[in-house]
Amino acid sequence: MADQSTVLILDDSAQFLQDFKNLTGKYFTILTAQSEAEAIQLLNSRRVDAMFLDLVLGNGISGKEVLTRLKESFPDLPVIMMTAHTSVDTAVEAMKLGAFHYLSKEINVGELRALVGKAIEERSLKRSYTVLRDEVARTSGTIVGKSRVMEEIFESIRRVAMTDVTVLITGESGTGKELVSREIHQSSKRSDESFVAVNCGSLVKDLIESELFGHVKGSFTGAVQSKIGKFELAEGGTIFLDEVAELDGQSQVKLLRVLQEKEIDRVGGTAPIPVDVRVIAATNRDLATMTQQAHFREDLFYRLNVYPISLPPLRAHKEDIPPLVDAFLAKYATALGKPNLRISPAALNQLMAYHWPGNVRELENVVQRAILLSNGEVISPENLPKEIGEVRTKSFTPRSLRDLEKESRESAAREIILQALEQTGWSIRESAKLLSIPEKTLYDRCKRLGIKLSRR
């Protein structure tokens, strides 16, 4: 909104600055500067949404020269040129240099408010595009699952989404932590703003602070221009800090301050910058144990762990494998030119029997590979990786299913049934005999355990 925006005006006339402030002060937070150095100091220490720049400054300094330097250091800053004498040629030249607009110094408050609003909107779109461009290789999807444990996850998402509390998502690699964070964002009141994902484990140690909080031009070797960090990119929206346990001690201190004070410090900056960002963090490590071992700050852990969500490994809810496979087939098969592709019962049951150390991410990769390798309209066991097929090669010793249920969990029962089916060539009658149970009981057990089969 324009009435919440901060506007900087650079003009060598103290009287014009005062007049501008008097006329527009109730609509914007006005910052004023009478020199380029003063303006840059403000830009490095405050969040500025738009800037007005006089075409002719004192001491023979051209506003166009200042504009060129500003666009080098602050490329996404909307700069509106102002002059007492407008001309088409000058306006065109200013626009070519990167000015957002060009107008007369005869102040029209309505025009200024509309112009600032448009400038801020365009800047927001550019930032959103930058985020989308960085994420283009990552195709967001929808969380899939019908199991009881996944229903609990869905309820947790619904419960926390409309709040602004910090969320800590834990779980093994590949369980869908980023997908859950995106679902929280999309279900929140911040859904129209940016979602910025940061993999803390991939950040170069010496540049973590710059990546997260930005830096001022010249603040360190290689800082050839000022840069806004991920937190400012996420302004008004959500920042997702994946692998947060990988942050070093100094970065943990900086992050703690952001959570406590709701403000950041650019590297080399002279004043804190307020930020309005919802933080969601994730890790596949045990942060509670890390705090006990002094590897992670205890105060930061408590700040992050306001609302914990723990994602189960895929092996703990294998009944979700069939709908997940269907979702991945819908996602990739058409794109790969095989819109009618389906998976055979034998192949699906091999997927059900596998232990999935890489969780949902591994399953997605396996399905995508199987689509590429398949011939015709059916994915067969031959299209699956060797390690998945090897699960079915274990020898089978006939046992009473009743005895099995007394001494093992449902996953073991599923394994025994699958082995019996495999050994008998998927004959329902022979498998039922081998397991010493009626055929109808075998059908019922297969249905309850998520084993897809057809009568033979």
Higher pLDDT, 395 or 95: 95
Q: Of how many residues is the chain composed? A: 456
Question: Per-residue pLDDT tens for 139-183?
Answer: 445 688 888 899 999 999 999 999 999 999 999 999 999 999 999
41 shares a domain with 113: yes
The pLDDT value recorded for residue 383 is: 93
Of 2-6, 158-162, 170-174, 397-401, the least confident: 397-401
CATH classification of the domain holding 20? 3.40.50.2300
Question: Per-residue pLDDT tens for 104-138?
Answer: 777 788 888 888 888 877 776 666 555 544 444 34
Q: Residue 330 sits in which domain range? A: 316-448
Q: Which of 265, 281, 310 is the last residue of a domain?
A: 310
| Phi/psi-derived region of residue 164, left when phi > 0, alpha when psi is between -120 and 50, beta in every other case | alpha
Is 253 a member of any domain? yes
* Closest C-alpha to 82, from 59, 108, 60: 108
Task: Check if the beta carbon of residue 195 is closer than 8 Å to that of residue 234.
Answer: yes
Phi, psi of 243 (to 5 degrees): 55, 45
The beta strand positions in 171-292, using DSSP E, are 195-199, 238-242, 263-264, 273-274, 278-283
pTM, entire model: 0.64
CATH classification of the domain holding 262? 3.40.50.300
Classify residue 156 by its DSSP letter: H
State how many domains the chain has.
3
333 shares a domain with 433: yes
pLDDT, averaged across the chain: 84
388 shares a domain with 271: no
CA atoms of 421 and 344, how far apart (whole Å): 14
302 pLDDT band (50/70/90 cuts)? very high
Question: Per-residue pLDDT tens for 309-341?
Answer: 999 999 999 999 999 999 999 889 988 888 889
Higher pLDDT, 142 or 78: 78
Task: Check if the beta carbon of residue 185 is closer than 8 Å to that of residue 319.
Answer: no
Question: Per-residue pLDDT tens for 17-66?
Answer: 998 888 888 888 899 999 988 998 898 888 888 899 988 887 778 888 89
* Closest C-alpha to 328, from 364, 356, 362: 364
298 shares a domain with 219: yes
The pLDDT value recorded for residue 351 is: 94
Is 137 a member of any domain? no
Is beta strand 195-199 parallel, antiparallel or unpaired with respect to 238-242?
Answer: parallel
Question: Per-residue pLDDT tens for 265-288?
Answer: 888 888 888 899 999 999 999 999
